Chain A
């Protein structure tokens, strides 16, 4: 089972409980999360389906750099962490 957790900064705006689900890709895990909390999608992805410019997705603590590719394979017990990137003023 893959595990997905959202940073507190996002939970300030939308309900974003952790998700534990069978998923063979990041796309699949995100789809499960968005099915449970539809409002979350627009906070994480833009309308072209890419990870927002100032959102960071970590796979087992490693930052994923390609915002357009969500077909990243997941192994059982992989952990995804979605946070706000450092930006703004």
Chain B
């Protein structure tokens, strides 16, 4: 088992030796890596670099990261003259990469800032914008949350149906296509308390910070939203609020067990107004009964003067359903081998962590 950790200063790969996790590869040192995706079966990998000066660059590897090749980045079409759109039509960052499914090994998806969804059918070498989503009138209502512009951070591809996809937008709601991206419907039920009262239930401006699907039961989706936790049991058509999480229902990250749709994990922070750990203690929260009750998990996590924040892609669960990894924006990394009951601090000082993924 290996871990991929995308950071502000490069892409780290870690593995376990004698029980301890350690870095055994570092790619693109010095460059911000905003997203990465690995296919453990084939050894292929793709990484999105956000170069401070020279734009977004994608690199692919066919040999488990030994060699990387630059390939084409997603690009937006020329912005038509006279069109009213407050968003730039220029790629700022790739926020999420998904794909490498066994039935469609060459198909990849990229969610970007601004809020574009791109598809590749050649393993990431070329990309095209899903124009149905980009040209949708509702997109004009999207706005940035924590960024100046909206972005797509979650792409849940149905494990059995590659044309059935749910995407999450901050701030723009949760959208589902069942026809490979030709048509889209938005989910209902989320509530945005940051909006004026008459706009709080508008599905098109919701801020789901992160959406994940249960691999064995993809009708079940979990969302850590800006205003709490929501769950859907009908693949995003309707969302129900879960209000039982303690010590807080605010945060960015969520993970769901690959074979138990009732089991989900979160990394809570105080609130929208105070985005730090509660009482300076890092904890994970876990439900095993679909959100009826939550456990607060702190064994092995720092409990004093720890103001680490786990951002939306900073939490992952392995295919075994037992290993979890959490990486913080202050460069701390923790791994659990027992479903979060206890955690091991990885003894390396990493740059700010954008995303962790088990390989």
Q: Does the CB pair A55–B53 fall under 8 Å?
A: yes
Partner of A48, one of B53, B73, B78: B78
In the assembled complex, B57 has its CB within 8 A of some CB on chain A: yes
The chain B residue sitting closest to A43, CB to CB, is: B54
Name B82-115 residues within 8 Å CB distance of A. Answer: 88-91
The chain B residue sitting closest to A85, CB to CB, is: B53
Given A13-B57, A42-B73, A48–B51 Cβ distance below 8 Å? no
In the assembled complex, A71 has its CB within 8 A of some CB on chain B: no
Number of CB contacts from chain A to chain B under 8 A: 48
In the assembled complex, B70 has its CB within 8 A of some CB on chain A: yes
B89: A residues at CB distance < 8 A? 47-48
Q: Does the CB pair A52–B70 fall under 8 Å?
A: no
The chain B residue sitting closest to A47, CB to CB, is: B75
The chain A residue sitting closest to B74, CB to CB, is: A47
Q: Does the CB pair A52–B54 fall under 8 Å?
A: yes
The chain A residue sitting closest to B88, CB to CB, is: A48
Q: Does the CB pair B55–A52 fall under 8 Å?
A: yes
Q: Does the CB pair A47–B57 fall under 8 Å?
A: no
Given A39-B70, A42-B73, A48–B90 Cβ distance below 8 Å? yes
B54: A residues at CB distance < 8 A? 10, 13, 42-44, 52, 54-55, 84
What does the 1/0 interface line of A46-87 toward B look like (CB < 8 Å)? 111110101100000000000000000000000000001101
The chain A residue sitting closest to B49, CB to CB, is: A13
In the assembled complex, B137 has its CB within 8 A of some CB on chain A: no
Partner of A87, one of B53, B78, B88, B90: B53
**A84, B76: Cα distance in complex, Å:** 23
Chain A's nearest CB lies how many Å from the CB of B124?
A: 15
In the assembled complex, B259 has its CB within 8 A of some CB on chain A: no
In the assembled complex, B246 has its CB within 8 A of some CB on chain A: no
Given A47-B89, A47-B90, A87–B52 Cβ distance below 8 Å? yes
Partner of B53, one of A47, A49, A50, A84: A84
Q: Does the CB pair A43–B55 fall under 8 Å?
A: yes
Chain B's nearest CB lies how many Å from the CB of A49?
A: 8
**A50, B75: Cα distance in complex, Å:** 13
A48: B residues at CB distance < 8 A? 76, 78-79, 88-90
Chain B's nearest CB lies how many Å from the CB of A61?
A: 20
**A44, B57: Cα distance in complex, Å:** 12
Given A13-B57, A39-B70, A42-B73, A47–B52 Cβ distance below 8 Å? no
Q: Does the CB pair B90–A9 fall under 8 Å?
A: no
What does the 1/0 interface line of B42-76 toward A look like (CB < 8 Å)? 00000000011111010000000000001001011
Name B3-56 residues within 8 Å CB distance of A. Answer: 51-55
Chain A's nearest CB lies how many Å from the CB of B69?
A: 11
Partner of A9, one of B53, B78, B79, B88: B53
**A46, B51: Cα distance in complex, Å:** 13
**A13, B50: Cα distance in complex, Å:** 13
Chain B's nearest CB lies how many Å from the CB of A72?
A: 21
Chain B's nearest CB lies how many Å from the CB of A77?
A: 28
Q: Does the CB pair A54–B52 fall under 8 Å?
A: yes
A-contacting residues of B (Cβ < 8 Å)?
51-55, 57, 70, 73, 75-79, 88-91
- What are 22 A-B interface contacts by the 8 Å CB criterion? A9-B53, A10-B53, A13-B54, A42-B73, A44-B54, A47-B75, A47-B89, A47-B90, A47-B91, A48-B79, A48-B88, A49-B78, A50-B90, A52-B54, A52-B55, A54-B52, A54-B53, A54-B54, A55-B53, A84-B52, A84-B53, A88-B53
Give 17 A-B pairs besides A46-B55, A54-B52, A87-B52 with Cβ atoms closer than 8 angstroms.
A9-B53, A13-B57, A42-B54, A42-B55, A42-B57, A42-B73, A43-B55, A46-B90, A47-B77, A47-B90, A48-B78, A48-B90, A49-B78, A54-B54, A55-B54, A84-B52, A88-B53
